[in-house]
Amino acid sequence: MNKSVQLQDLGRKDYNETWQYQETLFKDIVDLKIRNRREEANLETPNHFLFVEHPHVYTLGKSGDLSNLLLSEKQLEAKGATFYKINRGGDITYHGPGQIVGYPILDLENFFTDIHKYLRFLEEAIILTLADYGIKSTRSEGETGVWLDAGTPFARKICAMGVRASRWVTMHGLALNVNVDLGYFDNIIPCGIRGKAVTSLNVELGVEKVDESEVKERILKHFAALFGCHFNLQSSI
Protein backbone atom coordinates (compact mmCIF):
# COMPACT_ATOMS: atom_id res chain seq x y z
CA MET A 1 0.00 0.00 0.00
CA ASN A 2 1.40 3.35 -1.11
CA LYS A 3 1.55 5.82 1.81
CA SER A 4 3.28 8.54 -0.21
CA VAL A 5 1.17 11.60 -1.14
CA GLN A 6 2.18 13.97 -3.94
CA LEU A 7 1.68 17.52 -2.64
CA GLN A 8 1.04 20.49 -4.91
CA ASP A 9 0.26 24.08 -3.91
CA LEU A 10 -1.50 25.56 -6.93
CA GLY A 11 -1.68 29.11 -5.54
CA ARG A 12 -4.73 31.07 -6.73
CA LYS A 13 -6.43 29.21 -9.54
CA ASP A 14 -9.79 29.27 -11.29
CA TYR A 15 -12.28 26.83 -9.78
CA ASN A 16 -13.27 25.11 -13.01
CA GLU A 17 -9.66 24.69 -14.14
CA THR A 18 -8.79 23.11 -10.78
CA TRP A 19 -11.87 20.90 -10.90
CA GLN A 20 -10.82 19.55 -14.32
CA TYR A 21 -7.31 18.91 -12.99
CA GLN A 22 -8.78 17.01 -10.04
CA GLU A 23 -10.90 14.96 -12.46
CA THR A 24 -7.79 14.05 -14.48
CA LEU A 25 -5.87 12.87 -11.40
CA PHE A 26 -8.97 11.04 -10.13
CA LYS A 27 -9.55 9.28 -13.48
CA ASP A 28 -5.90 8.24 -13.76
CA ILE A 29 -6.10 6.47 -10.39
CA VAL A 30 -9.45 4.83 -11.15
CA ASP A 31 -8.20 3.66 -14.57
CA LEU A 32 -5.10 2.16 -12.97
CA LYS A 33 -7.23 0.29 -10.43
CA ILE A 34 -9.42 -1.10 -13.22
CA ARG A 35 -6.30 -2.22 -15.09
CA ASN A 36 -4.95 -3.89 -11.94
CA ARG A 37 -8.18 -5.81 -11.56
CA ARG A 38 -8.60 -6.82 -15.19
CA GLU A 39 -4.99 -7.78 -15.82
CA GLU A 40 -4.27 -9.00 -12.30
CA ALA A 41 -1.49 -6.43 -12.28
CA ASN A 42 -0.04 -5.05 -9.11
CA LEU A 43 0.75 -1.49 -10.15
CA GLU A 44 1.07 1.08 -7.36
CA THR A 45 -1.70 3.69 -7.26
CA PRO A 46 -0.65 7.28 -6.49
CA ASN A 47 -2.16 9.66 -3.96
CA HIS A 48 -2.37 13.45 -4.33
CA PHE A 49 -3.08 16.45 -2.11
CA LEU A 50 -3.75 19.84 -3.70
CA PHE A 51 -3.75 23.15 -1.88
CA VAL A 52 -5.45 25.99 -3.76
CA GLU A 53 -7.09 29.37 -3.28
CA HIS A 54 -9.97 30.18 -5.62
CA PRO A 55 -11.28 33.52 -6.89
CA HIS A 56 -14.82 34.22 -5.61
CA VAL A 57 -17.00 31.22 -6.49
CA TYR A 58 -20.10 29.45 -5.21
CA THR A 59 -20.44 25.69 -5.71
CA LEU A 60 -23.52 23.51 -5.27
CA GLY A 61 -23.24 19.81 -4.46
CA LYS A 62 -25.21 17.17 -6.35
CA SER A 63 -27.88 16.92 -3.63
CA GLY A 64 -27.99 20.68 -3.05
CA ASP A 65 -30.90 23.08 -3.46
CA LEU A 66 -30.35 25.91 -5.95
CA SER A 67 -32.63 28.16 -3.87
CA ASN A 68 -29.82 28.34 -1.29
CA LEU A 69 -28.01 30.67 -3.71
CA LEU A 70 -29.50 34.08 -3.02
CA LEU A 71 -28.05 35.89 -6.04
CA SER A 72 -29.17 36.21 -9.64
CA GLU A 73 -26.75 35.71 -12.52
CA LYS A 74 -26.36 39.50 -12.86
CA GLN A 75 -25.72 39.92 -9.12
CA LEU A 76 -23.07 37.20 -9.27
CA GLU A 77 -21.36 39.05 -12.09
CA ALA A 78 -21.52 42.34 -10.17
CA LYS A 79 -19.74 40.70 -7.23
CA GLY A 80 -17.07 39.22 -9.47
CA ALA A 81 -18.19 35.70 -8.55
CA THR A 82 -18.92 32.56 -10.53
CA PHE A 83 -21.20 29.58 -9.83
CA TYR A 84 -20.86 25.86 -10.56
CA LYS A 85 -23.05 22.84 -9.90
CA ILE A 86 -20.59 20.05 -9.15
CA ASN A 87 -20.33 16.33 -8.37
CA ARG A 88 -19.43 16.35 -4.67
CA GLY A 89 -21.73 15.66 -1.76
CA GLY A 90 -23.20 18.47 0.32
CA ASP A 91 -25.09 21.62 -0.53
CA ILE A 92 -23.85 25.11 -1.39
CA THR A 93 -20.64 26.72 -0.23
CA TYR A 94 -18.36 29.65 -1.03
CA HIS A 95 -14.68 29.66 -1.95
CA GLY A 96 -12.56 32.78 -2.19
CA PRO A 97 -9.41 34.66 -1.23
CA GLY A 98 -8.17 33.99 2.30
CA GLN A 99 -9.60 30.48 2.35
CA ILE A 100 -7.36 27.41 2.38
CA VAL A 101 -8.87 24.73 0.16
CA GLY A 102 -7.46 21.20 0.34
CA TYR A 103 -8.27 18.49 -2.20
CA PRO A 104 -7.01 15.02 -1.19
CA ILE A 105 -7.21 12.68 -4.18
CA LEU A 106 -6.42 9.42 -2.45
CA ASP A 107 -6.79 5.75 -3.18
CA LEU A 108 -8.30 4.81 0.17
CA GLU A 109 -7.29 1.20 -0.43
CA ASN A 110 -3.80 2.48 0.40
CA PHE A 111 -5.13 3.50 3.83
CA PHE A 112 -8.55 2.16 4.86
CA THR A 113 -11.85 1.56 3.06
CA ASP A 114 -14.25 3.57 5.18
CA ILE A 115 -15.71 6.87 3.89
CA HIS A 116 -17.15 7.74 7.30
CA LYS A 117 -13.71 7.36 8.87
CA TYR A 118 -12.17 9.38 6.02
CA LEU A 119 -14.49 12.34 6.68
CA ARG A 120 -13.88 12.14 10.43
CA PHE A 121 -10.10 12.17 9.79
CA LEU A 122 -10.43 15.27 7.58
CA GLU A 123 -12.39 16.96 10.36
CA GLU A 124 -9.87 15.85 12.98
CA ALA A 125 -6.95 17.30 11.00
CA ILE A 126 -8.69 20.71 11.10
CA ILE A 127 -9.75 20.37 14.75
CA LEU A 128 -6.11 19.68 15.71
CA THR A 129 -4.87 22.54 13.53
CA LEU A 130 -7.24 25.00 15.19
CA ALA A 131 -6.18 23.69 18.61
CA ASP A 132 -2.62 24.76 17.69
CA TYR A 133 -3.99 28.31 17.67
CA GLY A 134 -5.85 27.91 20.95
CA ILE A 135 -9.22 27.52 19.22
CA LYS A 136 -11.53 24.78 20.51
CA SER A 137 -13.58 23.34 17.67
CA THR A 138 -15.80 20.29 17.34
CA ARG A 139 -18.07 18.35 15.03
CA SER A 140 -21.79 19.11 14.91
CA GLU A 141 -24.14 16.14 15.00
CA GLY A 142 -25.39 15.36 11.49
CA GLU A 143 -23.51 18.29 9.91
CA THR A 144 -20.20 17.49 8.19
CA GLY A 145 -17.43 20.03 8.78
CA VAL A 146 -15.82 21.77 11.74
CA TRP A 147 -17.69 24.10 14.07
CA LEU A 148 -17.17 26.41 17.02
CA ASP A 149 -19.66 26.36 19.89
CA ALA A 150 -21.64 23.56 18.22
CA GLY A 151 -24.97 22.86 19.89
CA THR A 152 -25.29 26.40 21.25
CA PRO A 153 -27.04 29.53 19.89
CA PHE A 154 -23.55 30.79 18.97
CA ALA A 155 -22.67 27.87 16.67
CA ARG A 156 -20.56 28.96 13.69
CA LYS A 157 -18.87 26.97 10.96
CA ILE A 158 -15.19 27.53 10.22
CA CYS A 159 -14.48 24.65 7.82
CA ALA A 160 -16.77 23.17 5.16
CA MET A 161 -16.30 19.71 3.66
CA GLY A 162 -17.71 17.85 0.70
CA VAL A 163 -16.26 14.83 -1.07
CA ARG A 164 -16.85 12.45 -3.93
CA ALA A 165 -15.61 8.86 -3.89
CA SER A 166 -15.70 6.09 -6.47
CA ARG A 167 -13.84 2.75 -6.32
CA TRP A 168 -12.41 4.08 -3.03
CA VAL A 169 -10.79 7.05 -4.79
CA THR A 170 -11.59 10.48 -3.33
CA MET A 171 -11.79 14.01 -4.69
CA HIS A 172 -12.96 17.46 -3.56
CA GLY A 173 -12.32 17.99 0.15
CA LEU A 174 -12.15 20.80 2.70
CA ALA A 175 -12.29 24.60 2.82
CA LEU A 176 -10.95 26.33 5.95
CA ASN A 177 -11.74 30.01 6.46
CA VAL A 178 -8.50 31.71 7.52
CA ASN A 179 -8.59 35.33 6.29
CA VAL A 180 -11.95 35.34 4.51
CA ASP A 181 -14.30 38.23 3.74
CA LEU A 182 -17.30 36.69 5.49
CA GLY A 183 -19.70 39.04 3.69
CA TYR A 184 -19.68 36.67 0.72
CA PHE A 185 -21.46 34.05 2.83
CA ASP A 186 -24.43 36.44 3.16
CA ASN A 187 -25.30 35.59 -0.45
CA ILE A 188 -26.05 31.93 0.30
CA ILE A 189 -27.59 29.69 2.93
CA PRO A 190 -24.25 27.98 3.72
CA CYS A 191 -24.45 24.20 3.32
CA GLY A 192 -28.24 24.65 3.24
CA ILE A 193 -28.30 25.19 7.02
CA ARG A 194 -30.46 28.13 8.10
CA GLY A 195 -29.74 30.17 11.21
CA LYS A 196 -26.09 29.13 11.58
CA ALA A 197 -23.22 31.60 11.32
CA VAL A 198 -19.88 31.28 9.56
CA THR A 199 -16.54 32.46 10.94
CA SER A 200 -12.87 32.76 10.00
CA LEU A 201 -9.68 32.05 11.95
CA ASN A 202 -8.48 35.66 11.87
CA VAL A 203 -11.82 36.81 13.32
CA GLU A 204 -11.66 34.27 16.12
CA LEU A 205 -8.06 35.26 16.94
CA GLY A 206 -8.87 38.97 16.72
CA VAL A 207 -6.07 39.66 14.23
CA GLU A 208 -6.05 41.24 10.79
CA LYS A 209 -4.25 38.39 9.04
CA VAL A 210 -3.10 34.87 9.90
CA ASP A 211 -0.04 33.37 8.18
CA GLU A 212 -1.68 30.96 5.71
CA SER A 213 1.55 29.09 4.92
CA GLU A 214 1.89 28.23 8.61
CA VAL A 215 -1.72 26.99 8.72
CA LYS A 216 -1.05 24.76 5.69
CA GLU A 217 2.02 23.27 7.38
CA ARG A 218 -0.02 22.46 10.48
CA ILE A 219 -2.82 20.86 8.42
CA LEU A 220 -0.28 18.65 6.64
CA LYS A 221 1.40 17.65 9.91
CA HIS A 222 -1.88 16.47 11.43
CA PHE A 223 -3.10 14.89 8.18
CA ALA A 224 0.14 12.87 7.89
CA ALA A 225 -0.13 11.67 11.48
CA LEU A 226 -3.76 10.62 11.09
CA PHE A 227 -3.35 8.86 7.74
CA GLY A 228 0.12 7.47 8.42
CA CYS A 229 1.40 9.03 5.20
CA HIS A 230 4.24 11.26 4.08
CA PHE A 231 4.23 14.09 1.55
CA ASN A 232 6.40 14.65 -1.51
CA LEU A 233 6.34 18.22 -2.79
CA GLN A 234 5.64 18.44 -6.54
CA SER A 235 6.02 21.42 -8.87
CA SER A 236 2.79 23.25 -9.68
CA ILE A 237 0.81 22.71 -12.90
What domains lie within the chain, and their CATH numbers?
Answer: 4-233 (3.30.930.10)
Ligand-binding site membership of 70 (annotated): no
**pLDDT tens-digit map of 173-202:** 999 999 999 999 988 886 555 667 899 999
CB-side neighbour CA atoms (13 Å) of 88? 25
173 is in an annotated binding site: yes
**Whether the Cβ atoms of residue 62 and residue 110 lie closer than 8 Å to each other:** no
Catalytic residues: 191
125 has binding-site annotation = no
Strands 57-60 and 169-177: unpaired
Q: 3-class SS at 211?
A: coil
Q: What is the pLDDT of residues 97-140, one digit of tens each?
A: 999 999 999 999 999 999 999 999 999 999 999 999 999 999 99
The answer to whether 93 is a known ligand-binding residue is yes
> Which range (4-13, 143-152, 168-177) has the least confidence?
143-152
User: Is 174 among the annotated ligand-binding positions?
Assistant: yes
151 touches 137 (CB < 8 A): no
The length of the chain, given as a count of residues: 237
DSSP-derived pairing of the beta strands 143-148 and 138-140: antiparallel
